[in-house]
Structure 1
């Protein structure tokens, strides 16, 4: 019988890519949204989604949507980091309650927010979670509740990764909100951290395919399972700016520093800036995810070359026109890293 996935947050980055990946692997996709007609327009390229009216903040809506599903993909987050304290924990509680009632597994995309500097620079699944920020404490609390639920029979899968980029909804992340300006040609690249500090990036189509492959072998997973997704580890973090300049066919584009001082000054008035500022510590030190457990289990990790992934991301953000031959890399083009 065909498996069914209920996706909370299907119009977001991880949610939409996971819907696409699971559909490729033969799953039926159901998604919850307060306005199904608007959601269907937002995801017109995914007509296979069965949209159900409901709100992730409403426990009964989530429970009803989860009936006859095989998994709940909990990929819902307040946009722009807004009101995490008031929404994130209630939503995971609703998902846990629905999973208990329906007897289904929960898939959560994990973050590195859960960890403090005591675990840097290499994060393993067994690394202690000692978060230093508000969002980190909230994320750690989410996972604590999931772990407790697993003791009561709820199967949980966490796939953790670094900063997201790419996919059909490429803008709600550091790449789309900080490094470039969506909808505008690339005239400069803004980089948030010291150029020599390594940084981990997760190309969402690769991460979603990894989630789908893990779920194809769900019968081999324990009740509470966690994997780290390696993604694109850039030993010199500024290599991402190089990749953007290469993809835009503008090797001399200026690279600017993120104006952290301005974000600090404006943070009392702009919630998104305040929450971005809280994550600055993740740009000051290298934070790499150890994916050895994942590769041992799957045999490999899906991996799109960085130049291809960045070019596709810039195209999705409408920063380049891939039909323009000046922005399309020849098949044998060399990619030089770390040239800044």
Structure 2
């Protein structure tokens, strides 16, 4: 890609996924803009090197103004506090589509597994039918459908991944349920009800976005790829990785899914959790064939290194030598 055209607008650059993608683009020489309602907080907490523009993703005029002169718009924004999905998610993507059309930019979207029925789709590929069973899944499926319908007039890239872990992945099941941030790991909460869950190490996923966006000539107008990441076939791989860095076996508690279903009628986190509980009950693996076809190999940090960096960033582990003992599992490229 021509270096003069390597400018991206990242919506959601103060969040975990958007911030990681912004950082990966900056590290590879891109100019990156971020749209923020609170500029002072964004400058204080967002990635260093981002040019911040005041605005709101719910304002079409703000998004269009921020997108002037860019070749890529990264749509990694979610409703504040993950509330009001039914009212806010689709208008935000419509604003991004309008801005991208106006400037001829490609849209890059982090995709989710909620678009699928996990009981019927154990392996996700670019051709897998989207038949979501959850409210959030139906909204995400419509979001992607709008990108696909816009493809004749604009280009889009969706990189689908499992649940996040890694530095900066604050709003994640790993950081909010499995391990408690800010203190030594005393126990692990096992969210999975069995084996077969997919995880994405955030720096690897962000690097994948950057590498793909630097190869626009190889991408289809509407490109949908799967990021395989860490596939926990047994349901014990991530637990073993944490224990490997702590240096001892830890008590493992079951996540109280029964309570989520019981409390779901009252709204809040319990309702959101119960809505997507099926993705933790059934195995779902990402088929990254198309991704490997485009890049040659998927960026893959060895799991022991990735887990150590994650726990250090969460304040759960001192940044020192790895514990002596049996090495944790590492995954080949």
State the TM-score, normalizing by the size of structure 2. Answer: 0.94
The residue that corresponds to 1:297 in the other structure is 294
Structure 2 residue aligned with 1:334, among 324, 327, 330? Answer: 327
Q: Is residue 170–residue 317 contact of structure 1 (8 Å, CA) maintained in 2?
A: no
Q: Is residue 218–residue 294 contact of structure 2 (8 Å, CA) maintained in 1?
A: no
Q: Is residue 79–residue 172 contact of structure 1 (8 Å, CA) maintained in 2?
A: no
The residue that corresponds to 1:127 in the other structure is 128
Rounded to whole Å, the distance in 1 between the matches of 2:329 and 2:19 is 32
Q: Which ranges in structure 1 are unaligned for 5 or more consecutive residues?
A: none
Q: CA RMSD in A?
A: 1.6
Structure 2 residue aligned with 1:308, among 300, 305, 309? Answer: 305
The residue that corresponds to 1:183 in the other structure is 182
Rounded to whole Å, the distance in 2 between the matches of 1:93 and 1:161 is 23
Q: Indicate the SS of the match to 1:267.
A: helix
Q: Is residue 179–residue 189 contact of structure 1 (8 Å, CA) maintained in 2?
A: yes
Instruction: State the 1:204 CA deviation.
Output: 0.8
Instruction: State the 1:329 CA deviation.
Output: 4.1
Q: Is residue 5–residue 71 contact of structure 2 (8 Å, CA) maintained in 1?
A: no
Q: Indicate the SS of the match to 1:205.
A: helix
Residues 336 and 5 of structure 1, relative CA distance in 2, 3 Å threshold: closer
The residue that corresponds to 2:42 in the other structure is 39
Rounded to whole Å, the distance in 2 between the matches of 1:142 and 1:32 is 20
Rounded to whole Å, the distance in 2 between the matches of 1:306 and 1:298 is 21
The residue that corresponds to 1:215 in the other structure is 213
1:66-115 Cα offsets, whole Å, 9 max, x none, are: 00011100000135532211111111011011111111110000011101
The residue that corresponds to 2:77 in the other structure is 76
Residues 268 and 321 of structure 1, relative CA distance in 2, 3 Å threshold: farther
Q: Which ranges in structure 2 are unaligned for 5 or more consecutive residues?
A: none
1:117-148 Cα offsets, whole Å, 9 max, x none, are: 36421111001100010000000000000011
Q: Indicate the SS of the match to 1:6.
A: strand
Rounded to whole Å, the distance in 2 between the matches of 1:265 and 1:118 is 22
Residues 86 and 258 of structure 1, relative CA distance in 2, 3 Å threshold: same
Residues 86 and 4 of structure 1, relative CA distance in 2, 3 Å threshold: same
Q: Is residue 170–residue 316 contact of structure 1 (8 Å, CA) maintained in 2?
A: no
State the TM-score, normalizing by the size of structure 1. Answer: 0.92
Q: Does 1:318 align with 2:315?
A: yes
The residue that corresponds to 1:24 in the other structure is 27
1:199-237 Cα offsets, whole Å, 9 max, x none, are: 110001001101111111112211111111110111112
Rounded to whole Å, the distance in 1 between the matches of 2:184 and 2:259 is 24
Instruction: State the 1:61 CA deviation.
Output: 0.4
Q: Does 1:108 align with 2:112?
A: no
Q: Indicate the SS of the match to 2:97.
A: helix
> How do 1:130-141 and structure 2 match up within 5 A?
130-141=131-142
Rounded to whole Å, the distance in 2 between the matches of 1:79 and 1:164 is 19
Rounded to whole Å, the distance in 2 between the matches of 1:258 and 1:103 is 46
Instruction: State the 1:263 CA deviation.
Output: 2.2
Rounded to whole Å, the distance in 2 between the matches of 1:175 and 1:200 is 12
